[in-house]
Amino acid sequence: MKKILSFSAFMIVGLVLSQLLPLWAGSEYGIVKNTSNVLLYVCLSFIMINVGREFEVDKVRWKSYAQDYFIAMSTAAMPWFFIALYYVFVLLPPEFWHSWDAWTENLLLSRFAAPTSAGILFTMLAAIGLKTSWIYKKIQVLAIFDDLDTILLMIPLQIMMIGMRWQVIIVVFIVFLLLSIGWRQLGKFNLRQDWKAILFYSVLVFIATQALYVISKNLYGDDGSIHIEVLLPAFVLGMVMKHKEIDTPIERKVSTGISFLFMFLVGISMPHFIGVDFAESHAGAHSVTGSQAMMPWSVIAFHVLVVSLLSNIGKLFPVFFYRDRKFSERLALSIGMFTRGEVGAGIIFIALGYNLGGPALIISVLTIVLNLILTGVFVLWVKKLALRSYSV
C-alpha cells in the first residue's frame, strides 16, 4: 500500500511543480522541459521493455490465446468507449458533438483508461501469495494482452490525429515489421537483463526513435516527420529477450525508482492550467479539448469520481466469460484489472504532444491518481475473493 501511495504522491508533486516551473525557470523553461521529456521517454522505454519481457506464450498453442485476447481487447475497449462518450457528451458543448476533431481528440485522450498496470499488479498479487493461483496466471495473460492492444490501437488513433499521409504508410510498415520480428523471435535472444543493461537498451530505443524523427523533420519539415513512439519498439525488444528472472533487492529498488521517476515526470509534463483561460487561444493554437475553459475544482472532483466509476465498470467484462470458474474467481479477475499506472500515464503524455488539454486532461490525470491510491484496496479485495473461492 505504501508503494502505491508513493506512485500517486510522485505524480501529484510533479503536477504541482508543472504549474510553478514556468515561473521559476523563466527563460530557461524550454531547456528544463526538453530535459524532462527525454528522461520521461527513457523511463517509459525501460518500463515497456520489462512489460515485453513478461510476454511469454506457447506459440504451438497460439489458438488457445484467441479467447484471452478477445477478452483482453474488450476489457480495454469498454472503459475507453464509456469515457470517450462521457468526455464528448458531458464535458463538451453540444456544438462539438458532431465534430470530427472533438471525437478524435477524446478517443485518443480517453485511451488512458484502457491498459491495466501489469507491473504494479503482478508485484502486488505475488506479494500476497497468489502467484500460483488461476487468478494470477489468467490476469498475467489478460493484463499483458490489453497493454499490447493499447499500444497497437495508438497507431490508428494517431493516424486520425494527423491525417492519412505517406509518412503514415511508413509508420504502419514499421509497426508490422516490429510485430513480425517480435513474434518470430519471441524469447530467442540471450541478452543481459540486469537493470543497467535494460536502462542502456532504453536509451538506445529513445535515440533510434528520436533520430528517425529528427532526420525526417529536417528532410520534410515538421508536418512530414515520421514519429514512432517508444512504446512499441521497447515492448518488442523485451519480447525477443530470453526471459531471465533477476529478483534482487537492487533490481527491485532500481525498477521501483524508475517507475517513481516516470510518474513524477508525467506530472511535470502537464501543461500550465492554473489561472489560464484556455478558451482565449482556441483559434488554431489549441485543440478542441485544450480550448475549453477550466471548471471549478469541485466540478472537476465530481467528474473524476464518475470517470473512475465508468472506467472500472468497463473492466468488469471478464465476469461474463470463463464460466467454468466460480463467480468469485471471475469477479476477482476483473477487479484485478482495475489497476492503472505507467502505461495509462504514458498515453496521457503522448496526448500532450497533440496539444490536448483543458478539463478533460486534468480529469484524466486525477483519475489515474485516484486509481493508484485505490490499488491497494483493489488488491486486498482480490485476495479476499480468492480466499473465498479456494476455501469453499
| Domains identified in the chain and CATH numbers | 2-391 (1.20.1530.20)
Q: What is the pLDDT of residues 256-268, one digit of tens each?
A: 888 888 878 877 8
Nearest 5°: the CA angle 12, 89, 157 is: 70
Give the Cβ contact number of residue 229 at 10 Å. Answer: 22
Q: Do 244 and 49 meet the contact criterion of CB atoms below 8 Å apart?
A: no
Q: How far apart are CA 26 and CA 37, in angstroms?
A: 18
Residue ranges in the chain assigned as alpha helix (H)? 2-25, 29-53, 66-86, 100-109, 118-127, 134-162, 166-184, 195-220, 231-240, 249-268, 297-314, 327-336, 342-352, 358-391
Count, residues in the chain? 392
Q: Measuring CA to CA, how many Å separate 325 from each of 140, 236, 288, 330, 373?
A: 17, 33, 46, 7, 30
Could you identify the residue written with the cell 493484463? 143
| Three-point CA angle 278, 165, 203, nearest 5° | 75
Instruction: Give the Cα separation of 51 and 218 in Å (integer).
Output: 33
Distance CA 187, CA 79 (A): 32
Q: For every one of its 392 residues, what pLDDT tens digit does the chain have, with 9 covering 90 and above?
A: 566 667 777 878 887 888 788 888 888 888 888 888 889 889 888 888 887 887 777 667 666 678 888 888 888 889 999 999 999 999 999 999 998 888 988 888 888 888 776 656 665 666 666 766 777 778 777 877 777 777 677 777 777 776 666 777 787 788 788 888 988 888 888 889 889 999 999 999 999 999 988 888 888 776 667 777 787 788 889 989 987 877 788 888 888 888 888 878 877 876 665 655 544 444 444 678 877 878 888 999 999 999 999 999 999 998 998 888 888 888 988 888 887 766 677 777 777 777 777 888 888 888 887 877 777 788 788 888 887 776 65
Give the closest residue to 46 by CA, choosing from 265, 368, 227, 298: 265
Computed over its alpha carbons, how large is the radius of gyration of the chain? 20
Return the half-sphere exposure (C-beta side, CA atoms, 13 A cut-off) of residue 9. 6
Q: Which residue type occupies 339?
A: T
